Structures are given as structure tokens and as C-alpha cells.
Amino acid sequence: MEDTREFCVICLEEATDECRAIGHNIHAQKKVPVGINQTWRWDTVRDFDALKDIYERNSHLTKFLRDNAPREDMPEVYIKKAFEAGVINLEECSRAITELNTIRNTTALYAEVAEYSDETAFKWWGRGAWETQKGKAGEELIDILHFLLIAFEDLGFTAEDIHQMYCDKNRSNWQRFKDKLGWKKPQR
């Protein structure tokens, strides 16, 4: 008999009724053998949309951080107080918080790109390109992806929108390179 379960990819544990109620991404999983020693791991049963999964995890984390991070001295607290006092209207309040988040996100993105360059062959006088720590560089790339996804979400894009834009841009890039290189489709 096959050992199966429902797994919540947000909570990273077996799905509960609470996970289902708040709309977490839940996947059916089964135990599968891995490697020569036949150790076991859980694996997703049905088709898995990796981009959508990453996007949803990032969205939940961002919402949690934005809902729980503000301290009394943070700018959004003053923006909300100005709104509550009637100094600014709801549209101005929303725009100010969006602009603040964009500035923070852009700054964080720049910082992560700088950290990534520190982990790669940027420092030619230090360790060489072949000595790059793949794990650390990968972590920095994930941080970059995190802030890129926040930017997409803040602009109202879904995982499906990102996928479509990527496919469109990839198609136009291929065409541009083919045109530049003079590549012609073979005649039959």
C-alpha cells in the first residue's frame, strides 16, 4: 500500500484544516525510494508548477513580514497616522506606502546583487572564478529572486503573468539573435 499525505508547501509540514482554510498551496505527496540505499523521501504526486509555488511562498512571506515588521519609528506608521488624522486621503496613503516599499525593495535588490558579486569572480585579486562557493552564490541569487518577485507582486503581476512575459521576451530574444546572426530556417 502506497504511503500518501497532503503537504502544505507554505508551512512545510503535513496539511491541516487551517492550511486549507487560509488558502495555502497544498500538494498530494507519496513516499518514494531514493538512491542506492533506498532511503525514503516525500515527493509530489501530481504536476507541480514550480514558478507558481515559488511565487506563492514568496507572497506569503512578504505579507507576513509587512504585517508584522512595522515598529513605531518606521515611516509607514507615520503615513498611517497621517491618514487616520485626515491629513492625507486613502489614495495618497496607499501610494506613499507603495512608493516606500518600492524604494526598500530596490535598495534590498541592489544589496543582494552586490553580495552575489562578492561571492563570484568579481574580486579578481582574491579567489578565482573556479573557487566560487556555489552554495553561497546560490543563496544570494535566491535573495535576488525574492526581491524581484516582490517587485512583480507589488506591480500586480501573477505567476502566470511572469511566465507569459518571460516566454514573450525569450521568443523575441531568440528572434533578435537569429536575425543578428543571419540564421535562416532551413528550406524543405
* pLDDT single digits (tens) 135-164: 788 889 999 999 999 999 988 998 888 888
- Asked if 105 and 42 sit in the same domain, the reply is no
* Digit-coded pLDDT (tens) for 79-123: 888 889 999 898 998 888 888 888 988 999 999 999 888 877 665
Is residue 186 included in any domain, yes or no? no
- CB 181, CB 71: distance < 8 Å: no
- Asked if 85 and 128 sit in the same domain, the reply is yes
- Asked if 40 and 124 sit in the same domain, the reply is no
- Asked if 57 and 140 sit in the same domain, the reply is yes
Which residues form the domain of 24? 1-48
- Asked if 117 and 58 sit in the same domain, the reply is yes
Provide the domain count of the chain: 2
- Asked if 107 and 76 sit in the same domain, the reply is yes
Q: Of 140, 118, 138, 120, nearest to 128 (Cα)?
A: 120
Is residue 59 included in any domain, yes or no? yes
Grid coordinates given for 94: 496607499
